[in-house]
Structure 1
């Protein structure tokens, strides 16, 4: 593990203010799903893992939707590498990506379908893909008609 630290208290404070829930892309996808009659849980804890949440969870259908920020999760199209304190940032972002893989593997091992999207993806397309997976589960259709995921 790297012993490097954030380059300054200001950088550390700015990082801590970054929203990690209810981001614009998440809210946009949730609104589209809700308007289409889907019901889900928001920021649901990952079963059996501490300090991990699912952005949009269809718990009965066991479908986990995660919408990742391009910078923080290493988007192959939009990720950037900061030049200041580069070693610390490289280690930080690599840990984020490793944590994402670990979360995916854990959820899949528990029988969940994991859907990960990038923040730059069109909300309409994301919502359509999520709806298709939830509908295929069979459970999602019943939950949708019944007015709730639980």
Structure 2
């Protein structure tokens, strides 16, 4: 028998609550991306920064297609982003020894330095949030956010 009121359905209530949580995370992501992008060096976008950040966090030597999958963008979009980074000497594309036709993305010292400058340029703005938000709260929420990200990463890969 169909339910007339989805508010009585526990899975609907749980789904709405998770939607609200992800909606807040999405809004936070949008606001933080806009702030970071406003501090990036001329001509660089959030896409450039996130590619550099990914390579620093997880290590270089990734293929463009693997990066496209991780970022859930078409290979052509990732190729465009990587071309912009290569043009600025922030990455190098080298032949993939396992696949003669493919390439590997290698981070340059300039790419690492640019990422650090970007983080340093936004850090004072972010640090201003701590007195209002609280260091203890930031430390306590971080493990939960990492767990949620890991769950979403695994769900993406299914």
Fold equivalence (TM over 0.5): no
- Whichever of the two has the greater Rg, that structure is 2
Q: Which has the higher helix share?
A: 2
Query: Which of 1 and 2 has higher RCO (CA within 8 Å, sep 6+)?
Result: 1
State the TM bucket, normalised to the shorter chain: under 0.3
Give the TM-score normalised by the residue count of structure 2. 0.25
